[in-house]
Amino acid sequence: MPLNLLKFALSKRHPEPPFFRQPDYLNPSYEVVIIGGGGHGLATAYYLAKDHGITNVAVLERGYLGGGNTGRNTTIIRSNYLTPEGVAFYDAGVKLWENLSQELDLNLFYSTRGHFTLAHTESAMRTMRWRAEINKKMGVESEVVGPETVKAAIPQIDLSCGGRAPILGALYHKPGSIARHDAVAWGYGRAANRMGVHIFQSTEVTGLEIRQGRIHGVHTRRGMIRTSKVLSAVAGFTPRITQMAGFRTPIVVHPLQACVTEPLKPWLNTIVVSGSLHVYVSQSSRGELVMGASLDPYEVHSTRSTFDFVEGLASHILDLFPFLAGIKVVRQWAGMADMTPDFAPIMGLTPVKGLYLDAGWGTWGFKATPIAGKTMAATIANDKPHALIHAFRLERFRDFELTGEKGAAAVGH
Ligand code: FAD
Ligand code: PYC
């Protein structure tokens, strides 16, 4: 580190204000308690305060802000989903993203790149046409393009994929974007805290106080809090919270891994996903290639990463971009993805009165951070599901009314 930078960091003359203040003690009660200091929990706290004037709110985080899937994801933001309900929801989300840096007064590095989902088979082409039609009908910019358009946008791509899986076309989605994930958590946290929300890190919820089917409080490692409204926004930890509450969801937890390369000169200006090759890649503003693949195929609650993953991913990335041979992978990691059977989230009320759920975000929930926060805040404030999340209610599994998003959720699974 340059000496001057170190001197600046240690100097008392230019103190950097903390992002948010953590009170020394938990209050004995809050109007709303949010379990989980990821993007979704913090965004909900922010919109509770901003949209509904509810500021007597505590966000409880077992680790550090954004240390869950929010800080582990590959930040793809898009609305080119498959169901009209999904498209409407994610499109409302993209609209919130567009002004979020200004709103939170923090540079989120929101960068619109365009998003190609490559099709290597006729059946994949059919799905792309289907998505394009639904998207257009809902006013979302998506179109099916031929291989020549892919090549024009990404000259480095090998359209034959080494002769093994030639690219037949793609779904092109102009609004596809990336952002800086941890800034999203900090930005929402700081803005919520400025309006009076209390944020507690290193504060794990260990139990729920439920009497006669109604929530009365939460137990934490630092004592109990009384409250009549609790939101669980804990992603891969959801089964532990629903077990405390005494009901089940169909969520299963699988690891999802990702990695980055050493920084390269800018060459890739779009986001590229191949469902058939199970890989995707974008280039961050720092020049790193941010890459990922499908879920690990086994259910396990773990964030360990594996050599198998990098090996499989690298071989498919090289099918697309042979010139990358020799580029070094410098970091890899995993998150715990809370997967639902229909690849749509679970949002809204639960069988326990006053307990709300924001879960089932699997591999696709980062892009939903703002709109999930906004709609969950409205749901909690009014004790009534927001209209945009009706298709995501827990009861859909009981009623056989699934919201099938598998063809659009992420890379092939
Ligand atoms: P989290 O950020 O996981 O926050 C939940 C928090 O709850 C955690 O910080 C955890 O510590 C805390 N917690 C858990 N239990 C307790 C407890 N008992 N008490 C207190 N706190 C608790 N989505 C996209 O849209 N685009 C992508 O490109 C994308 N790529 C991904 C790549 C990877 C490798 C992974 C793992 C995920 C990806 N996702 C992507 C999915 C996305 O990251 C998640 O869906 C989203 O971040 C979920 O946010 P969250 O706030 O709900 O959860
Ligand atoms: O939701 O677009 C997505 C995504 C891509 C990779 C992981 N999630």
Q: Are 411 and 278 in contact (CB under 8 A)?
A: yes
In terms of residue numbers, what domain contains 401?
A: 28-73+182-250+342-409
Axis crossing angle, helix 84-98 with helix 369-382, rounded to the nearest 10: 100
> What spacing in Å lies between the alpha carbon of 68 and ligand 1's midpoint?
5
Mean pLDDT in residue range 194-214: 98
335 plus 259 within the same structural domain: yes
Q: Residue 181's pLDDT is what?
A: 97
Domain termination residue (choose one: 293, 320, 339): 339
* Chosen domain end from 298, 321, 339: 339
Residue 222: inside a domain, yes or no? yes
Nearest CA to ligand 1 atom 6: 36
Question: Does ligand 2 have an atom closer than 6 angstroms to the CB of 410?
Answer: yes
Task: Provide the angle, in degrees to the nearest 10, between the axes of the packed helices 39-52 and 181-194.
Answer: 30
pLDDT at 412: 56
Helices (H), 15-62: 39-52
User: SS3 for 29?
Assistant: strand
Angle at the Cα of 256 from the Cα atoms of 253 and 258, rounded to 5 degrees: 165
Distance between CA atoms of residues 311 and 334, nearest Å: 15
In a domain? residue 79: no
Task: Tell me: do 173 and 256 sit in the same domain.
Answer: yes
Q: Which atom of ligand 1 is nearest to the CA of 258?
A: 34
For the stretch 267-292, pLDDT in tens is 999 999 998 899 999 999 999 999 99
3-class state of residue 155 by DSSP: coil
CATH number at 297 reads 3.30.9.10
Q: Indicate which atom in ligand 1 lies nearest the CA of residue 76.
A: 28
Q: What is the DSSP string of 304-361?
A: ---HHHHHHHHHHHHHH-GGGTTPPEEEEEEEEEEE-TTS--EEEE-SSBTEEEEE--
Asked which of 339, 363, 389 is the last residue of a domain, the reply is 339
Q: Which ligand is nearest to the CA of 335?
A: 1
Ligand 2 proximity of 76 Cβ (cutoff 6 Å): yes
CA of 345 relative to ligand 1 center, distance in Å = 13
Shared domain for 403 and 256, answered yes or no, is no
Atom from ligand 1 closest to the CA of residue 71: 2
Model confidence at 101, pLDDT cuts 50, 70, 90, reads: very high
Q: Is the pLDDT of residue 220 over 80?
A: yes
Ligand of minimum distance to the alpha carbon of 80: 2
For ligand 1, the distance from its centroid to the CA atom of residue 241, given in whole angstroms, is 15
Q: State whether 264 and 404 are in the same domain.
A: no
Q: Is the CB of 339 under 6 A from ligand 2?
A: no
Residue 240 DSSP SS3: helix
Same domain, 314 and 269: yes
pLDDT surpassing 90 at residue 14: no
Domain membership of residue 84 (yes or no) is no
- Cα(143) to ligand 1 centroid in Å equals 30
pLDDT, residue 410, reads: 65
Residue 308's identity, in one-letter code, is: D
199 and 141 in one domain? no
**Domain match, 266 and 323 both:** yes
Is 97 within a domain?
no
Region 85-105: mean pLDDT is 98
Burial class (CB in 10 A: 0-12, 13-18, 19+), 158: middle
Give the pLDDT of residue 20.
Answer: 86
Stretch 373-393: mean pLDDT: 98
How confident is the model at residue 413, as a pLDDT?
Answer: 47
pLDDT tens, 289-346?
999 999 999 999 999 999 999 999 999 999 999 999 999 999 999 999 999 999 999 9
What percentage of the chain has pLDDT greater than the value 70? 98
306 and 159 fall within a common domain = yes
Neighbours of 334 (CB within 10 A): 21
Tens-digit pLDDT profile for residues 144-159: 999 999 999 999 999 9
Measure 124 CA to ligand 1 centroid, in angstroms: 29
Q: Which atom of ligand 2 is nearest to the CA of 409?
A: 1
Q: Are residues 351 and 378 in the same domain?
A: yes
- Residue 20, domain member (yes or no): no
Q: What are phi and psi of 217, to 5 degrees?
A: 170, 180
Task: State how many domains the chain has.
Answer: 2
Burial (0-12, 13-18, 19+ Cβ within 10 Å), 345? buried
Tell whether 403 is covered by a domain. yes
Calculate the average pLDDT of the chain. 96
The answer to whether the CB of 242 falls within 8 A of the CB of 265 is: no
Decide if pLDDT at 104 tops 50: yes
Give the 3-state secondary structure of residue 281: strand
Query: What is the Å distance from ligand 2's center to 77 Cα?
Result: 8
Per-residue pLDDT, 6: 81
Ligand 1 site residues (CB inside 6 A) read: 35-41, 60-63, 67-70, 72-76, 204-205, 233-235, 237, 256-258, 292, 335, 337, 361, 363-367
Q: Please tell me the total number of residues recorded for the chain in this structure.
A: 413
Q: What separation in Å is there between the alpha carbon of 63 and the centre of ligand 1?
A: 12
Calpha distance 11→4 (Å, rounded): 10
**β-bridge partners, 295:** 256
If pLDDT is split at 50, 70 and 90, which confidence band does 2 have?
Answer: confident
pLDDT in tens, 152-188: 999 999 999 989 899 999 999 999 999 999 999 999 9
Q: Is residue 39 part of a domain?
A: yes
Q: Any idea what the CATH number is for the domain that residue 221 is in?
A: 3.50.50.60
Query: Which whole-number Å values give the CA distances from 172 to 32, 145, 270, 389, in the listed order?
Result: 41, 7, 10, 26
Domain shared by 326 and 261, yes or no: yes
Record the tokens describing residue 162, joined without a space.
Answer: 């080494």
Residues 243 and 271 in one domain: no
Average pLDDT over residues 47-73: 98
**152 within a domain of the structure (yes/no):** yes
Based on the domain organization, do 158 and 202 belong to the same domain? Answer: no
